[in-house]
Amino acid sequence: MASVTKVNGKARAGNGLGPNTRIISLSNTDMSQAELDAMVLLLTAGGVKGTDDAVSIAGITAFEAGVTDVVHVAVQGTGVLTAGADYRGQTGTTMAVVATFTD
């Protein structure tokens, strides 16, 4: 199992999650299960190569359809992700990169 690297007994920036893991937020008022499912399909399929590359989903925060406005998703992949509103054509959904962990 991977672990956080220590140097001289002190924690330092690192990643035990894979070569490149990002935490993204997907925001949409009262997000539906269908909207979340569509975003997962869009993220794993990829969009324009070099602009929105395909990623693997490593985790999704708790979600309640029709109540949750923001879902955080851990994605893995070394390609490019471009954040924005109406992400990948899904009206009302905004994607933002919250954190990036790299080797």
Residue 4 binned pLDDT confidence (cut-offs 50, 70, 90): low
Q: What would the pLDDT profile of 30-50 be if each residue is shown by its tens digit?
A: 999 999 999 999 999 988 888
- Reading the block at residue 45, the tokens are 């399929």
Residue 1 binned pLDDT confidence (cut-offs 50, 70, 90): very low
- The answer to whether 31 and 54 have CB atoms below 8 angstroms apart is no
Compute the average pLDDT of residues 12-37.
Answer: 86
Of 4, 12, 80, 2, the closest CA to residue 95 belongs to 80
Does pLDDT of 18 surpass 60? yes
Per the listing, tokens 């009206």 go with 91
Domain extents for the chain?
21-102
Cα-flanking dihedrals φ and ψ of residue 18, to 5°? 135, 175
